[in-house]
Structure 1
Amino acid sequence: MSDAPQLQLPPLSLYVHIPWCVRKCPYCDFNSHSVTHTSGADAHQAAGPDSSGYGLPEVEYVAQLRRDLGSQLPWVQGRRLQSIFFGGGTPSLFSPAAIGAILQMAEELVGFAPDIEITLEANPGTFEQEKFSGYRAAGINRLSIGVQSFDPRQLQNLGRIHSGEEAAGALAMARRAGFDNINLDLMHGLPEQTEAAALEDLRRAVFLEPEHISWYQLTIEPNTAFYSAPPVTPGSALIASMQGSGRDYLASCGYARYEVSAYSGAGLESRHNINYWSFGDYLGIGAGAHGKVTLPAEGRIVRSRRTRAPRHYLGADAIARDDLIHSVLALPHCDDIEPEELPLEFLMNALRLVDGVPLESFRRYTGSSPAVLQQQWPALEAMELVQPLAQRIAASEFGFDYLDEILQRFLEQP
């Protein structure tokens, strides 16, 4: 009989992808589709009933989300949802009624933990007071506002549809709607950005007193407009300097860094994202959504992904019926994570956390012995890149800036 550790079920979250945007930003490599560019089958789908004000196929999309989640119920395995995250695209293009219907469906089919965290991504250019009061009434209890910058020139560079003043106004509207847990998304390393300008963005964000700030570096990704015509961005030395200054400034303002790009007040970390980074499970629904689920009875961990095109996800060539879980085009693709890949998969997530994760989590959630880490760990510890492998798996304060180098050691491990 094997004495290998047995897989155990981690907490469960839900990710809901809303794939439409008012306009595609030149840096964005997420699965998003401009609402102004619908044609052909997409236009036919968008012609249905809609209360969003953007001509979106809300009714059809919510119905397909229900079928999508319903097909994954065997993966729930008795758990309740600890968190839900509406990402995109721009989820705030959907009406409160549609968001409320999705939440009601999720609670009915899966069930909610008593203290569930429910986050909606929103862009300042889509804010309306009544609409955001409606989101709060529907059950959204955390907002993530995509500001990116307060600098008018940078907002133009980034293709954003709001001004810095509108971003500040959006947060004020959210407060009036009753939100007391708000994240602001900011970027640094922007085209020709100076360190002073990056810090000014942070100062303006801190002035608004959000509970959480996500401050991440602009990266040029394939299949984006910036990749085809790259802007001039700061060099690596300047990036390192602005990151160090920014971290110090945020710490002085009471925002502790708990993940590579995430800062919050005490106890206000994003529980949904911590579940990702702790190798928790998450169901993904919506066009292009990904999921990861643990199946202890089968001794395997499965990743799933859905077709990216909204018209395919909706099943443009099929009529949805109660007994039809998905059209052929909307079927998710599933892959097992091979056992030999699990250590790297786990570390890619866990090492993003400043405090790492308990060593026992590796055993529970990968079904592997921590001994498999020992081939590389002593050398990494000797280079002061990681902390001793005693109670936790974590990078050192020095090594936290060299995560790629740490992971490369495990990628090359035979």
Structure 2
Amino acid sequence: MYFGQQYNLQCMQKKYYSLYIHIPWCLKKCPYCDFYSLRISDSNSNSNKNIKKRYINNLLFDLENDLFFLKEKLIYITSIFFGGGTPSLINGKLIYYLLNEINKKVYIKKSAEITIEANPSSINKKNILEYKKSGINRISIGIQSFNDISLKLLGRIHSAKDAINAINTVVDNGFTNFNIDLMYGIPGQTLKEAKNDLYQTLFFHPKHISWYQLTIEPNTIFYKYKPTNLPKYNTLWKIYKEGKKILKKYGYIHYEISSFVKKNIFKCKHNLNYWNFGDYIGIGCSAHGKFTMNDGSIIRTTKNNNIIKYMNGNYLFSYKKVKDCDKILEFFLNRFRLFKKISKKDFTLITGIKINSISLHITKSVKLGYMKHNKNYLIVTKKGYLFLNNLLEIFI
């Protein structure tokens, strides 16, 4: 698909956004997942196909509402991310239609990174080829583990063999830019098993690896029925240290707390926009958005998480202007995830708050050894990354 349509640029203000698109359906709800999702029993029935088509059209109306709110701006989309749920339950033809219609409403840059999350159980050659035709140029595969016992404990519906077949399908059909999602700290997992998952992942030479610890979040099955055999802290620490060594040995750059990349050009542009406290449009059930207005105020939107109301056109659930104190915390909550120095100038430019107003916070962080700073930059220390929650509490 061709992106980069032309507009009359006179008297129009350019504004750069990422676009998040939430697809709410899953074949099964994972016990650790706290994202909004709905179970769909038969993805290919005629009734479900019609529901998906209706949902896609509602996504377009949802987008139009946000664009109306952001009037008098030329919207440049630098990245698009299909998240869920399981976005790969939507066939490639519908994705093609959706992206084509979006391209009529906003300026999708030719260089835009367009990612779809895909579960191994819903990856097949036909869909992969259709996704490629639609303009998707990056796939994030939710593997989590190559160990069948671990997958069962995580409530995943695919097997290790399914995972391997899915990755091969993606690679064999022309996708070179793909991410593998991998989890550690799985119930009963040993150091050896965690390392084996990493080695299996490295066999496929993914450009990007998201390797993160299982966390027990509120409103999940695991929160209500907590697993009794979670790895102890010492085991988790060994897994983390050994895992980082392995990834470094194989040439991966650790650029964000849970993200590793083969080359800098393959860093996830969409997530980088979040972590750099950039603006984004969020459409779909329960999706979130962040807009910086002309007066410097920051607006956060949340879309309706009631699928019936959403399908009836009630898209917006809440609209909130972010207070200055919350801007400070939100900025650092995102920026501290990245392993790079923080420009003091960028802090003021993005939040509209003078850096001098947080001088006491900086002084305390430096005194505790969590941070260093000079005239132009804030730099999180090794100790600061180890005690990131403590560092963040200083900025509350």
Question: Could you list the per-position Cα deviations for residues 202-221 of structure 1 after superposition, in whole angstroms to 9, with x for gaps in the alignment?
Answer: 11001111000001110111
Highest RCO, 1 vs 2 (Cα 8 Å, sep ≥ 6): 1
Q: Which amino acid aligns with 1:150?
A: F
Matching residue within 159, 165, 175 for 2:155: 159
User: Aligned partners of 1:310 and 1:174: how far apart in 2?
Assistant: 31
Tell me the secondary structure at the aligned position of residue 332 of structure 1: strand
Residue 126 of structure 2: aligned partner: 130
Structure with the higher fraction of residues in strand conformation: 2
Structure-2 residue corresponding to 1:286: 284
Letter in 2 for 1:392: Y
- Asked whether the 8 Å contact 1:9–1:365 carries over to 2, the reply is no
Query: SS where residue 239 of structure 2 aligns?
Result: helix
Q: Distance in 2 between matches of 1:386 and 1:168?
A: 42
Match of 2:360 among 375, 381, 387: 375
Q: CA deviation at 1:180?
A: 1.2
* Deviation (angstroms), 1:300: 1.1
Amino acid at match of 1:58: K
Query: What do you get for the CA RMSD once the two structures are aligned?
Result: 1.8
Does 2:103 match 1:98? no
Partners of 1:161 and 1:191 in 2: CA distance: 17
Q: 1:390 to 1:259 in 2, by over 3 A?
A: farther
Specify the alignment match of 2:178 in structure 1.
182
In structure 1, what is the equivalent of residue 345 of structure 2? Answer: 360
Q: Secondary structure, in 3 states, of the residue corresponding to 1:72?
A: helix
How far is the alpha carbon of 1:392 from its aligned partner?
3.0
Among 216, 228, 239, the alignment partner of 2:236 is: 239
Gap regions ≥5 residues in structure 2: 1-12
**Does the CA-based 8 Å contact 1:351-1:393 persist in structure 2?**
no
**Alpha-carbon distance in 1 for matches of 2:174, 2:375:** 43
Structure 2 letter corresponding to 1:66: L
Cα distance in 2, alignment partners of residues 47 and 308 from structure 1: 24
Pair 1:75-2:60 in alignment: no
Provide the C-alpha distance between the structure 1 equivalents of 2:380 and 2:15, rounded to a whole number of angstroms: 22
Partner of residue 26, structure 2: 21
Would you say the 8 A contact 1:168–1:208 is kept in 2? no
Partner in structure 1 of residue 38 of structure 2: 33
Q: Residue 60 of structure 1 aligns to a residue in which SS?
A: helix
- Deviations, residues 333-392 of structure 1 (Å, cap 9, x unaligned): 110101222111100000100114322221111011111221111221233211314433
What is the CA distance between 1:114 and its match in structure 2?
Answer: 2.3
Amino acid in the other structure paired with 1:35: I
Given the two structures, how large is their TM-score scaled by the length of structure 1? 0.88
Aligned twin of 2:301: 304
Deviations 1:153-202 (A, max 9, x none): 00000111111121121111111221111000011011011111111111
Instruction: Give distance in 1, aligned partners of 2:311 and 2:136.
Output: 25
Q: Deviations over 1:10-39 (max 9, x none)?
A: 73100000000011111111101110299x
| Aligned twin of 1:42 | none
Aligned residues: 379
Report the counterpart of residue 107 of structure 1 in structure 2: 103
Identity, in percent, stands at 36
1:206 aligns with 2:211: no
Instruction: Report what 2:10 is aligned to.
Output: none
Superposed displacement of residue 331, structure 1 = 2.8
Structure 1 counterpart of 2:258, one-letter code:
S
CA distance in 1 between counterparts of 2:96 and 2:366 reads: 49
Query: Deviation at 1:136?
Result: 0.6
1:264 offset after TM fit, Å? 0.4
Task: Tell me the TM-score normalised to structure 2 length.
Answer: 0.92
Q: Is the 8 A contact 1:123 1:145 kept in 2?
A: yes
